[in-house]
Structure 1
Amino acid sequence: MVEKKLKSKDEILRERILSGADRLFQKYGLSKTTVEDIAREAGKGKSTLYYYFKSKEEIFDVIIQNEKKLFFEILQESVSKAPTAKEKLHVFIITRFTRLKELTNLYNVMIDEVKEALDGCVTLRYRKQYEQKEANIVKSIFQYGIVTGEFRVFSDEDLDLMAFCFMSSQHGLEIDMIIHNKLDEMLSRLNFLMSLLIDGIKK
């Protein structure tokens, strides 16, 4: 029997700070949450907070990275359970959309980044961090479909391009839905996009 390693006092306090900050960021967002708010939520002083983190932005970044890690673990696990390439693509679309919405901070920052980028304010820093991972998952689904005989054979270069185009189309739809406040219509449009893609590459 493997003994569970006990967390140190520092680890417990660090998690307490992150947990409290997570609740505040979900409720008020990054800009309206102060270091004082986070310290108060953790039941500690500002000096204690600065011992573990340089700024509220660093705390927010850690939370986003944790949510992103969880998001991809869930996404890859869900895709791996689907038996066919077509079902894997469907699961990818559904899981990506529904689970991202559940990860409040990550979801909100993605929407905020899109809106700010459209105004020329920021680059899509967080979005760029996960776009390639998404494309890699989609490419692996295409490769699986080739092996199982569901899809026609394509070169590795073509698969990269197909994955890029598929994800770019999804991102384009997302931006359009965000601009026009129609995110509730996203899934039906993504499924239509998937159907078009599969019709073009199936045997």
Structure 2
Amino acid sequence: MPTNTALKEDIIQQQILQAAQQLFQKHGYQKVTMDDVAKAIGKGRSSLYYYYKNKDEVFDAVMDAEISDIMAGITRAVTQATTVEQQLRTFGITKTKISAKKKAFFEALETGMNAEEISRYTKKKQAIQKKMRKEEATLLHHILNEGALKGEIKVLDPAEQDTLIFVFATSLRGLKRELLFYNNRIEPAIDMLVRMTMQTIKR
């Protein structure tokens, strides 16, 4: 495929995803159609089918882009920190801030759904959360492995590292839900979680 053609197709795909993301946020997932997306980018519906078979594929691509955007933001922030402790804290704080910014979008997706539609959508949401958690775990593994190579923290066997990451990530999600619900500051709680984690892994 010629470079110019590939570039043009990448641009069109980005236009489709941006338009779909905006429509999903405005109207909810259920009410948006392929015709709506095509109209938003000024093309016929048949043009969309060249890239995506149906709305589900468009939605999956939008969600993949959202996950990539979230993880890119977290990774950029983490790479600016120097120690494992700072990186874990940055991971927690940045994830919380980005999640707060994205909250309106994810909540808007359920607009206009009845009970049956929400039930079907819940399965999609679980798949999205699974992908997100896998990406987060990969970054946390990298933080711990690099810290061990530098001699900053002890070397953990794979099972121990998996468990530590599960506990840290799950605790962070729990803190985020509870503290945002009660409108409390989350930073001190994240600091405490990080200090507890460091007590487990420091040399």
| Same-fold call, TM cutoff 0.5 | yes
In the aligned structure 1, how far is the partner of 2:31 from the partner of 2:184?
27
Aligned residue for 1:6, secondary structure, equals helix
> What displacement does 1:7 show?
4.8
2:76 matches 1:74: no
Aligned counterpart, 1:27: 26
Query: Residue 169 of structure 1 corresponds to which residue in structure 2?
Result: 171
1:159 aligns with 2:158: no
Mapping of 1:42-53 within 5 angstroms? 42-53=41-52
Cα deviations by residue, 1:4-28 (Å, 9 ceiling, x for unpaired): x535554443332222212212222
- Tell me the alpha carbon deviations over residues 151-192 of structure 1, each in whole angstroms, 9 at most, x when there is no partner: 3443332122111111121233345457xx347644443333
Uncovered stretches (5+) of structure 1, i.e. residues with no partner: none
Asked whether the 8 Å contact 2:74–2:95 carries over to 1, the reply is yes
- The counterpart of 1:131, out of the listed 130, 133, 155, is 133
- Change in Cα spacing, 1:120 to 1:55, as seen in structure 2 (3 Å) is closer
Determine the structure 2 residue equivalent to 1:97.
96
Using CA pairs below 8 Å that are at least 6 residues apart, which structure has the higher relative contact order? 2
Shift of 1:60: 1.5
- Partner secondary structure for residue 4 of structure 2: coil
Corresponding position of 2:191:
191
Q: What amino acid does structure 1 have at the position aligned with 2:171?
A: S
What is the rounded CA distance, in whole Å, between the counterparts of 1:87 and 1:53 in structure 2? Answer: 41
Distance in 1 (CA, whole Å) between partners of 2:4 and 2:70 is 26
Q: Deviations over 1:112-144 (max 9, x none)?
A: 7xxx9xx97634111111212212322332333
Q: How many residues align?
A: 190
Query: Does the 8 A contact of 2:92 with 2:172 survive in 1?
Result: no
Q: TM-score, normalised by structure 2?
A: 0.74
Q: Deviation digits for residues 4-57 of structure 1, max 9, x if unmatched?
A: x53555444333222221221222231232323212211223333333322222
Structure 2 residues not aligned, in runs of 5+:
none
Range that drifts further, 185-194 or 75-84: 185-194
Q: Which residue of 1 aligns with 2:106?
A: 108
